Chain A
Amino acid sequence: MTRRIEGEARRAVIRAQEQARRFGQHFIGCEHLLYGVAGADDAVGGILRARGVTPERVDEQLAALVRRSRSAAARQRDLDGEALDTIGVDLDAVRARVEQAFGPGSLDRAGAARSSRAKRDVTGHLRVTRQARACLKRSIRAAEARPDGRPDTAELALVLLDVRASAARSILATLGVSAPELSAEISGAL
């Protein structure tokens, strides 16, 4: 699919991938694509940055997203005794029995063994989330009307601005940017 994306739009997708990797993420989402187009060396990138959607500011929001999901993962790693208690499972009792059988600290050791498996280096091709894939497909379709038929950063940006309930949209909202206004400006500049 990405073979049909060339030029600055392709570089935007590559920047998105590099950014995901930098955060140790195994996927490319709309939020990474937004980072990618924000850094575009063309008119569309210029409009985004003039409106405050700069790579630096998107990067800050990406970091915040990662922090939030990491703290959820950490909560899981720590074994949430409080949550288990709500379904009538007494973690202290389970821990006591497990450690009796497998030794002191065995339940925590099993958790560490599991998380080291999850922390493999992020290499090779990253998975593209369903929503990001849909965005790329839509931008390719939108570009079919163009003479060259290749999506530009404009198509990609417009699709990202249009998708509701995406991480990209919530980043824009946090930055205080109106997606419809930004779309209108980009469409007007085409």
Chain B
Amino acid sequence: MESTLEIAEGAASQDPDVGLRAVAALRELAERLEVLQIENARRLGWSWQEIADRLGVTKQTVHRKHGPRIGRRS
């Protein structure tokens, strides 16, 4: 387990190589969680509007991004 100090050092890293890689990795992780959560929500019958509301984006945005892959509610 890292100490709080060590974590804080990483998060506030002044080295752009470290900091930017962390941002990219976090973004990729968030995107994957989004894919899994939206697939699940659609499977459970959630509408694109309901999903968009929770994500804080417009229905168009979420549908354009995920609609082609996930398709209609089954």
Interface residues, chain A, CB within 8 Å of chain B? 75-77, 79-81, 83-89, 91, 94, 98, 101-102, 106-107, 110-111, 113-114, 117
- Knowing that A75-B21, A79-B25 are A-B contacts, what are 10 other residue pairs whose CB atoms are under 8 Å apart, sorted by A's residue number? A77-B28, A80-B21, A80-B25, A84-B26, A84-B29, A86-B22, A87-B22, A98-B33, A106-B36, A117-B69
Interface residues on chain B, size class = 20 to 34
Interface pair A102/B28, CB less than 8 Å apart: no
Chain B positions within 8 Å of A106 at CB level: 36
Whole-angstrom CA separation of A101 from B33 in the bound complex: 11
Smallest beta-carbon distance A110→chain B, Å:
4
Interface pair B22/A84, CB less than 8 Å apart: yes
How many inter-chain contacts with C-beta < 8 Å in the A-B complex?
68
Interface pair B69/A110, CB less than 8 Å apart: no
Whole-angstrom CA separation of A171 from B69 in the bound complex: 39
Interface pair A79/B29, CB less than 8 Å apart: yes
Interface pair B10/A98, CB less than 8 Å apart: no
Interface pair A102/B22, CB less than 8 Å apart: no
Chain A positions within 8 Å of B26 at CB level: 84, 87, 89
Q: From the candidates B18, B19, B28, B35, name the one contacting A79 in the complex (CB within 8 A).
A: B28
Whole-angstrom CA separation of A7 from B36 in the bound complex: 52
Smallest beta-carbon distance B63→chain A, Å:
14
Smallest beta-carbon distance B20→chain A, Å:
9
